[in-house]
Structure 1
Amino acid sequence: MANLALETESTLTNRFQTTVPSPVRKALHLGKKDKIKYSIQADGSVLLSKLTEDEADPVLGDFLAFLENDMKKNPAKLQPLGEELRSSVSNLIAGVEFDLDAPLSDEDE
């Protein structure tokens, strides 16, 4: 392995989640809500790096720009969410509570 400076490990939970070890967070200057990029090499090794805004998914960005332009050009085609679809979605998520900003609980780990 080329220029190995430090080796560390972490464990996968039952939900395939892990905590990024402190030395890795420090080396990559990671903070809460930062995104991590995984680059899988041909030999099976994986490079881990901090995802910067410049590296955001270009396909998603182009798609969102397409939607924005289409809505501006064709505002008459925009339709409100129908009652039937709204009701269907409401039934699917009834009783489900979530907070996307809340940290995972110990039982989720």
Structure 2
Amino acid sequence: MADSLFVSESTLTDRYQTTVPDPVRKALGLNKRDKIRYTIQQDGNVILSRADLNQDDPVLDAFLQFIADDIQKNPQNIKAVSAELVERVQDLVGDINADLDDPLSDEDD
């Protein structure tokens, strides 16, 4: 825990409930009725964080973790994107404007 800012503990009740310690509430900016997220890592460590209103996509998260792991294991496979590819992509989509927050129309579903 050498890189920890602080360590705090709490106790489970008979109903498996606990109070989030004050320093943790302050660090996460938690208020009453806010949601918290528990992320269990492969090594058994648990990360406690504030749950945002936007929920993460578990499939996307798993894919991004796969990519990150592969980059770490095989950095020799990382290659720069060629200027020709960048130019080709810009030619294909350069003048298209899209708002990713707009809902799909019925015909796009």
TM-score (norm 2): 0.49
Higher relative contact order (CA 8 A, sep 6+): 1
TM-score, length-scaled by structure 1: 0.49
